[in-house]
Amino acid sequence: MSNPAVEKMYRELRDKAVSKAEGMNEKPYVMVGTATCGRAAGAMKILETFRDELAGHQVDAELLEVGCLGHCYAEPMVAVYKPGHPFLCYGNVDEGIASRLVSDFLVGDDPCFEFAMAAFEPNDVFPTFADYPRGVYEQKIILADCGLINPEDIDHYIARDGYLALAKVLDMDPGAVVEEIKESRLRGRGGAGFPAGKKWEICLKAEEPVKYVICNADEGDPGAFMDRALLESNPHQLIEGLAIAAYAVGASQGYIYVRAEYPLAIKRLHTALDQARDKGLIGESVLGSDFKFDIQIFQGSGAFVCGEETALISSIEGNPGIPGHRPPFPAVSGLRGKPTIINNVKTLSYVPHVIRNGAAWFRGIGTPNSPGTAVFALAGKVVNTGLVEVPMGTSLRTLVYDVGNGIKEEKAFKAVQIGGPSGGCLPESALDLEIDFDSLQHAGAMMGSGGLVVLDEEDCMVEIARFFLEFTQKESCGKCTFCRLGTKQMLEILTDITKGRGKPEALELLWDLAEDIKTGSLCALGKTAPNPVLSTLRFFRGEYEAHINEGCCPSLMCNELISYRIVPEKCSKLCDACIASCPVEAVYTRPDMLKAVDLEKCVKCNNCLVTCKPLYDAVMKVTPPETGEGGDEN
């Protein structure tokens, strides 16, 4: 930095933050993950337990709320630091463990290794996260600080070189900043994979004096929570990236468009913005320079279509969130008719790292055409659900089996639904596919925003396609006839197939409708809505044919095509658990005291199977439905 005013102001901020961080290490502290995933698992009760125990034992320790470490399967998670001991992370913490960590570790000298997951730094007594199989394959960039800093204390971010990139660009020509992003080959992480630098260049060259930058945080994919976790865990990373984008293209006003269903993310964003203004990092004179920039939060109403940039712009302008025609693209004519940059949360979060470390560093990670890392929300039937960040080019097999630790209950892998409802389902034969924007598109799926749902042998691919199509059909804005009516007709056909009413000609009709919808829809929601159907027809056509030609669901998932049977050899005469669990009295006791199911009364709620499984495992699903005398299959 050669701008003395900017350099002086930033150095003062950083020196104060570093001094504060060093002071923290002089005494114990406890970090409790209170992002949404942690709260859902009971983290707030754990936080309260620590507060009471620390006060009760009169321990001089700081208690901090942090974000998500990514290991959502192990929530609630707690990190405990005590001078002279390894900095340890504990998973699945309950009130008893929390109490022990205070009495035995902070008061006593026992680190409670029996409850520990891993250490954060190398040591001689306990493995680190890097020693996990997952740690071998992960390469964290934008997730690196998540769960390790207080998202509501800006000094935690600044102490880790936060806002250094912003200070650096204030001494650069805006064109040079754009060129750095172009040379990095950073592609948009919102789904389309469009080069971020190219978009910025178009906006920079626009001659309009008023320009805008927008962060698209309208995350709506089922099973996706990457953006939410970043906003809740490290909001300043995004704010810094958005400020750099604004400087690069010449904008003075920015917006963060976030859905109202993310109250914690919104709260932490407001706090972060207030702190950034107080420090002079946004506002009338950023870091004492002549760059003026501020950010406003806009809360969306949860419409999936508002993830499309023209619909998002329409929503901010106070109009219905309905996509518009392109061109002109927003970089030329966007919000209020002015040149506008719209980037996803993850895209903007990479920007400070690219500026700090250089374009060549970023290109050195991942693949030539898709540099950097990919952040995925691992969900579904995988053992270790959560957030992961791996280099582009990592295989699906590595992601599912090494990072995610395989399939729950050691069941057989069937498919991954990747890219959200607009993505596709890839089968076992695609497990060795190296993940990047181009390879996924070639395979019939898409990167999307990063949702990845793992499916096992018990998942019916026809029902999966129906579920995702039902979502996109409900979220259609209705502007395009092909999307509005075509997806509705496809959904009706799929519903008929899952209920045993499908006809052989339905498969060709589904394919034709899908192609017409892709061709005739205006925005990406409509153009990609048929993808789950097309990919499942391509890779799992046999399941469709079984539903139609044999009247059965091979995966025993479609209720209309299954029934329940109690195996006499496994049933216990002394147990009435299945009878007690049945809400319609369909399970009864036979004369020989064994249990049976009256299929005419059965509503297929699955209660009897769930109740019996840990006891005798005597209840089973069968297909096609078997019916004996009086509706009793036994």
pLDDT score, position 224: 83
For the chain, residues classed under CATH 3.30.70.20 are: 562-631
pLDDT score, position 422: 79
Check residue 401 and report its DSSP letter.
I
pTM: 0.93
The 3 state secondary structure assigned to 95-112 is: HHHHHHHHHHHHHCCCCC
pLDDT per residue over 412-448, tens digit each? 999 999 987 878 899 999 999 999 998 988 888 888 7
Confidence of residue 2 (pLDDT cuts 50, 70, 90): low
What CATH number is given for 373-459 in this structure?
3.10.20.600
Whole-number Å distance between alpha carbons of 313 and 315: 5
pLDDT per residue over 353-373, tens digit each? 999 999 999 999 999 999 999
Whole-number Å distance between alpha carbons of 360 and 367: 13
CATH for 17-133, among 3.40.30.10, 3.40.50.620, 3.40.190.10, 3.40.50.300? 3.40.30.10
For the chain, residues classed under CATH 3.40.50.11540 are: 162-362
- DSSP letters, 280-322, are TSSBSSGGGSS--BEEEEEEE---GGGGSHHHHHHHHTTS---
pLDDT score, position 443: 85
Kindly report the average pLDDT of the chain as a whole number: 93
Domain 562-631 has CATH 3.30.70.20: yes
For the chain, residues classed under CATH 1.20.1440.230 are: 462-550
Q: Within 13 Å of residue 493, how many CA atoms lie on the same side as its CB?
A: 23
CA 357 to chain CA centroid, nearest Å: 26
CATH for 162-362, among 3.40.50.1100, 1.10.10.10, 1.20.1290.10, 3.40.50.11540? 3.40.50.11540
Task: Report yes or no: 233 and 156 within 8 Å, Cβ to Cβ.
Answer: no
- Asked whether the predicted pLDDT for residue 476 surpasses 90, the reply is no
Fold of the domain built from segment(s) 462-550 = de novo design (two linked rop proteins) (1.20.1440)
For the chain, residues classed under CATH 3.40.30.10 are: 17-133
Whole-number Å distance between alpha carbons of 608 and 255: 51
- DSSP letters, 564-584, are EEE-TTT--TT--HHHHH-TT
- Asked whether the predicted pLDDT for residue 634 surpasses 60, the reply is no
- Among 174-183, 272-281, 429-438, 618-627, the minimum mean pLDDT is found in 618-627
Task: Report yes or no: 227 and 219 within 8 Å, Cβ to Cβ.
Answer: yes
